Structure 1
Amino acid sequence: MRIMDLLTDSREEPVGDLEPDVELSRAARVRVLLAAALGPLLTGYAAVAALLALIALTAGHAVFSGTGVLLAAGPGWLAAHQVRLDIGGHPLGLLPVLPTLGVVALAARTASGAAGRLGCRSAREALPVFVAITGAHAVFGLVVALGTQGSPVTANPLLAFAVPGLLAAAASAAGIIRCCGLPDFVAERVDPLALRGVRAGALGLAVLVACGAGVFTVATAVSWRTVADMYEPALGSSSGLFLISVLYLPNAVTAALSFVTGPGFSVGSLNAGMFGYRGGPVPGVPLLGGLPEHHAAWWPALLALPAAAGALVGWTLRKVDAEPAQRVRAVAVAGAVVALGCVVLGTVSGGRLGDGPFDPVSVPVGVASVVMFCWIVIPGSFVAFFAGEHEPPAPPPEALEDNQAFEDADAVDAEEAAEAVEELEASEEDEDGYEEAEFEAEADAELGLDDFSEPGGAVTGGTETCGDVEADETDR
C-alpha cells in the first residue's frame, strides 16, 4: 500500500472520472491537451511502422532493418493522410483509402475523449482540443516532409502541412460535435426539412456504396480463378499482394460505384463504362482480377440499383411535409449530399501511378457527381411526390373574392326576403283590420246605429227621439 501511495501523487487531480462541474487545474488541462495532440501521431506512426516491418519480414529477398523501417514510416504516415509522394522522381498519388479512414477515426475518437475529460459543453470550450489536434498533425506532416528532402521518397512540404491538418480538423470537429451539444444547436437553427434531407442523403450515399461493394464482390467471385492465379507460391509475395488488395479495397469499391451509376472509371488506357469499354493493360494485383475483358449487353440492367437507391430516398422523405413541393425540396437536398460525397470519394480514390502504362487511375468526379445527383433526385422526387399526402390546392385570391361576393349577395337577398315577408304580414294584418271595420260598419248601418258611432251621437240622438215621442203623445 505504501508503494501505491508513492506512485500515485494525491496532489494531482484524476482526469478520467471528473464530474462536469469540477474545475481542472491548469496542469491537468495541459496534460489532456498534450495527450490529445500526440496520441494520434504516435499511434499512427507506430501502426505504419509495424505494417512496414511485417512486409519486410515476410518478403523473400528483403533485409530487415529497424532504422530503415522507422525512416520509411514517415512517408508511410504521409501516404496514410493522402499526401502525394515522389518516389525516385515518379509521382505516386494513388494512395490507399483504408489507412486514411483509420487515422480519421483515431483523431475523432481522441478529440471526443479529450473534450469529455475536460468537461467541454460548448464549441468555445472545446476549441483548445480542436487546435491542439489540428496543429499537431499539420506540424508533424511538415516536419516529416522536410526530413525526407534528399531521400528517394519525398513530399511537398506545403501539401504535407495542409492535407493532414485538414483531415485532422474534420476528424476532431466530428469528434467534439456531439459532446458539446452542437447537433441540438444546429437543429434549433436550421430548417428541419433540410436536416431530414441531409440524413436521407447520407442514407442514399451509404446505399450506393453498398451497391458498388456488392457489384465488386460478385465480379471478384465470378473471376475467382483469375484472382487465385495472380497469387505467387512464395509466402512473402502472396502476403504483400493480399495486403495491397486490402488497403486499396475502398478505392476499388468507389470505382465500382462509379461503374454502376454509369460514368465508369479508367486505369491507364483501360476505360470501363456502362455503355462503352476500351481495353488496356492493368496491374497484376488480385484486387483487379474481376475486371471485365469486353463489354456486355446486360450491363445497363445494373442501372436499376441507383434508381432503387433514389426511390428509397424518396420513400424515406414521403412524410416530411404535407405539401408535395416541400418534399421534393428535401429530396434535392439529399441529392446534393450524395453528389458532395461522390466528389470526396472520387478525389481520394484516384491519382497518379508513376509514369507507366497504368497512369493515371481516375474516376470522372464531375460527371459522376452530376449523374448521382440525378439518380437521387429524379426517382426520389417521383416517389416522394406521389407516395405522400396531398392537400387540396388553395383557391386563388380571385376565387376567394368571388365567393365572398356570392356570400354577401346571398346575405343581402336573405335580408330583403325577410323584409318582404314582414311587409306582407303587415299588409295582411292591415287588410284583416280593414275588412273587420267595414263589416262592423255595414252591421251598424242595417241596425240604424250609425249615429252612435259619432262622439255624443248616442246621447243626442236618443234624447231627440224620446222628446219627439213625448210631444206627439201630449198633442193627442
Structure 2
Amino acid sequence: MSSAKAALVRLSDSIPREVEREPGSGGFGSLTPERARVLLVVAARAASITLLLIVVLVVGALVAAGSGMEGTGGAIAASWLAVHQVPLVIGKTPLGLLPLLPTGFMLWLAARDCARAVEPDSRRADLGWIVGAAVAGPLLITAVCLAVADDASAVIALQPPDTLSAFGWVIGLHLLAAVVGIGSRRWRELAALAPVDLPDWVEPGAKAGFNAVRRLLAVAALVTVISFLAHWSRIGDTYQAAGNVVGVLGLTLLSLAYLPNVLVDATSMLLGGTVNIGDGSLSLFAVEGARIPAVPLAAAIPTGPAAGWWPVLLLIPAAVGVLGGLDIGRATDDRPTAPWATLTSAAVAALLLTFLGGLASGELGSFGWIGPNPLLLAAAAFVWLAVPGYVGMFCARWFIAPAPIDDYDEFDSYDDEFDEDYYYDDEFDDYEDAPGDREVTVDGELLEDQTALTAEPHADSPETPDIVDAEVVEADLPEHGEVDGR
C-alpha cells in the first residue's frame, strides 16, 4: 500500500453497531415470557409427542382387536411406563425386557429440544432451568400414569409398578437426554464443572470411544441382517399365529421395536461375550438351546450348534479397535509410552456398551432373563478396543501419520512492528501496487471541514492519493498488519 501510516475511519453513529449482550441479560435467570415459552417447549413437546403416539397405537390396537375400551387408560399408562423402561407385572408375568426403539426415539426428541434451548450466553443457572424443565414435564405425566395404573388394576391384569422405581427411571433417562443435548452445544462448559482440570487426551479419547461403539453397532446390524436372511424359512412359522393382517402388522412393529435390543446382543456376541436366553446361552463358541419368543425378529437367532468358523468374527472388533487407534494416532499426540487417549477410548466404549447391555436385558415372562452378561461384555469391549487400538495408534504415529511441523518461519513474514517497507501480500489482500490514482470507498459518514489526508506518494507514482473526507484516528496497527476497518 502507498501510505506509510494506517488510519481507522470512525463510522457514523447512524450506522447500527452490534452491541454485545450482557451475559444473562434477559436470560433464563430472569425468566422472561420468551424464555418461559422455550422452557415449556422443553418440558412438554417430547413428552407430548411420545404420549400421542402411545394413545394412537393403543387405541388402534384395541379397535383392530375388537376389544372394549374399558382398559384404555391402564394400557396407555402401562405403555408410557414401558417406554421409560419401568419393569411391569401383567397378571403374574414379569415384563422387564422392554423395547429400546421407543425409548431411544423419545430421548432423541428430548435431547434435541434441550440443545435448541441453549443460547451462546447461557449461564449455569440457565442450563439448570433447561434440565429442570426437561425432567419436570415427563415426571408430571409419570405421576398421572401411576395413579391411572393403580385405578386400572381393578379392570385389567396390571399390577401397579413401584413408585420409586418409576420415578427413578424417568428422572435418570430424561436427565441423560438433557445432559447429552446441552453437552452437544456447551460441552466445554460442562467439562469445566469437573473438580479437576481434564487432560487434553480425554476429549479425543471419548470421541473415539463413541465412534467405536457406533461402528460396532453398525457391523452388528449387518451381521443381524445376514443371519435374518439365512434363516428366512423360519419367518413364516412366526407369522402363522398372527391370524390376520392386523396381527401380522403388530408382530412386525413389535420386532422393529426390539431391533435395538437385538443389535446390542449381537454386539456382545461379536466381542466374544455371552447372551443369556433363560436357561440357555448364545456365543461364538457354543449355543445352548433355549426357547425363544415367537416373533419374526427371533428368526435371526441361531439355534443349532456353533459353527467352526464363528470365532473368525472376532476379527471384527479387532479391526474396529485398529481403526480407532489409527484415528487417535492421527488426531492426538498419543505415544506408545503414553497411550492415554487410546485407553480412554476403550474405557468409554466399554462403559457405554455395558450401559446399553443393561437397558437391553431383563425378564421376559416364562422365557426367563434375556440379555448379555454385563461383566463379560465390559471386559471384552475394553480388551478388544485397547490392545488393537494400541497397535493402530503405534502404526499411525510411526508409519502413517505425517511428521509434525516444527518450523513455522515461512508463515512469519511480518515483523512485530509495522514498517513502511512492508506492503500487503497478494496472498492475503487483493490490492496491487499500481501507479496512478486509487479509488477508495469508505463505509462511513463523510465529515465536512476536515483536514485532507495526505501521504507520501509511491516511488512509481508521481501523483498523490485521493483525499477522503472523514474523521481519522491514528492508531498502532496490530501484529501481522491487520487493520480494523472497512
1:321 aligns with 2:333: yes
Change over 3 Å in CA distance of 1:70–1:148 after alignment to 2: closer
**TM-superposed deviation, 1:112:** 2.4
SS at match of 1:325: coil
Instruction: Calculate percent identity across the aligned residue pairs.
Output: 29
**TM-superposed deviation, 1:322:** 6.4
Residue-by-residue CA offset, 1:162-191 (whole Å, 9 max, x unaligned): 111111111112222344x33367389532
Whether the 8 Å CA contact 1:58–1:235 is kept in 2: the answer is no
Structure 2 gaps of 5+ residues are 1-19, 400-486
1:250 aligns with 2:250: no
- Identify the residue that residue 128 of structure 1 maps to in structure 2: 129
Residue-by-residue CA offset, 1:348-400 (whole Å, 9 max, x unaligned): 0010112x1x111121011111011000011111221243139xxxxxxxxxx
| Counterpart code for 1:106 | L
1:377 aligns with 2:386: yes
Alpha-carbon separation, structure 2, partners of 1:362 and 1:269: 12
Whether the 8 Å CA contact 2:334–2:341 is kept in 1: the answer is no
Alpha-carbon separation, structure 1, partners of 2:184 and 2:284: 41
Alignment map for 1:357-396 (pairs within 5 Å):
358-389=367-398
- Identify the residue that residue 436 of structure 1 maps to in structure 2: none
Alpha-carbon separation, structure 2, partners of 1:34 and 1:155: 28
Residue-by-residue CA offset, 1:41-64 (whole Å, 9 max, x unaligned): 2221111111222323333xx325
Whether the 8 Å CA contact 1:261–1:371 is kept in 2: the answer is yes
Alpha-carbon separation, structure 1, partners of 2:374 and 2:273: 9
- Identify the residue that residue 456 of structure 2 maps to in structure 1: none
| Counterpart code for 1:32 | V
Alpha-carbon separation, structure 2, partners of 1:107 and 1:387: 39
Alpha-carbon separation, structure 2, partners of 1:85 and 1:353: 10
Whether the 8 Å CA contact 2:274–2:376 is kept in 1: the answer is no
Whether the 8 Å CA contact 1:49–1:70 is kept in 2: the answer is no
Change over 3 Å in CA distance of 1:113–1:238 after alignment to 2: same
Whether the 8 Å CA contact 1:139–1:161 is kept in 2: the answer is no
Change over 3 Å in CA distance of 1:212–1:187 after alignment to 2: farther
Whether the 8 Å CA contact 1:33–1:132 is kept in 2: the answer is yes
- Identify the residue that residue 215 of structure 2 maps to in structure 1: 207
| Bigger radius of gyration among the two | 1
Q: 1:195 aligns with which of 181, 185, 203?
A: 203
Whether the 8 Å CA contact 1:322–1:389 is kept in 2: the answer is no
- Identify the residue that residue 144 of structure 1 maps to in structure 2: 145
- Identify the residue that residue 434 of structure 2 maps to in structure 1: none
- Identify the residue that residue 80 of structure 1 maps to in structure 2: 83
Q: 1:272 aligns with which of 282, 288, 292?
A: 282
SS at match of 2:281: strand
State how many pairs are aligned: 364
**TM norm structure 2:** 0.70
Alignment map for 1:51-450 (pairs within 5 Å):
51-59=57-65, 62-63=66-67, 65=69, 68-116=71-119, 121-149=122-150, 151=153, 152-153=157-158, 154-179=160-185, 181-183=186-188, 186=191, 189-232=197-240, 234-294=244-304, 295-319=306-330, 320-321=332-333, 323-326=335-338, 328-354=339-365, 356=366, 358-389=367-398
- Identify the residue that residue 394 of structure 1 maps to in structure 2: none
**TM-superposed deviation, 1:292:** 1.6
**TM-superposed deviation, 1:157:** 0.5
**TM norm structure 1:** 0.71
Which is richer in helix? 1
Alpha-carbon separation, structure 2, partners of 1:259 and 1:335: 17
Change over 3 Å in CA distance of 1:314–1:31 after alignment to 2: closer
- Identify the residue that residue 404 of structure 2 maps to in structure 1: none
**TM-superposed deviation, 1:226:** 1.1
Alpha-carbon separation, structure 2, partners of 1:281 and 1:185: 46
Change over 3 Å in CA distance of 1:385–1:341 after alignment to 2: same
Alpha-carbon separation, structure 1, partners of 2:21 and 2:103: 33
Change over 3 Å in CA distance of 1:29–1:290 after alignment to 2: closer
Alpha-carbon separation, structure 1, partners of 2:277 and 2:190: 45
Change over 3 Å in CA distance of 1:161–1:272 after alignment to 2: same
Residue-by-residue CA offset, 1:400-452 (whole Å, 9 max, x unaligned): xxxxxxxxxxxxxxxxxxxxxxxxxxxxxxxxxxxxxxxxxxxxxxxxxxxxx
Change over 3 Å in CA distance of 1:256–1:178 after alignment to 2: closer
Alpha-carbon separation, structure 2, partners of 1:254 and 1:352: 16
Change over 3 Å in CA distance of 1:271–1:20 after alignment to 2: farther
SS at match of 2:89: strand
Q: Which one scores higher on RCO, CA 8 angstroms, separation ≥ 6?
A: 2
Residue-by-residue CA offset, 1:199-240 (whole Å, 9 max, x unaligned): 111111111111211111100011112113321351121111
Alpha-carbon separation, structure 2, partners of 1:241 and 1:322: 49
Change over 3 Å in CA distance of 1:147–1:226 after alignment to 2: same
**TM-superposed deviation, 1:71:** 3.6
Alpha-carbon separation, structure 2, partners of 1:222 and 1:20: 62
Whether the 8 Å CA contact 1:261–1:372 is kept in 2: the answer is yes
Whether the 8 Å CA contact 1:267–1:282 is kept in 2: the answer is yes
SS at match of 2:113: helix
Change over 3 Å in CA distance of 1:290–1:36 after alignment to 2: closer
Alpha-carbon separation, structure 2, partners of 1:105 and 1:253: 18
Whether the 8 Å CA contact 2:336–2:390 is kept in 1: the answer is no
Change over 3 Å in CA distance of 1:195–1:187 after alignment to 2: farther
Residue-by-residue CA offset, 1:64-118 (whole Å, 9 max, x unaligned): 53x64344211101110111111113211000000010110111122223334xx
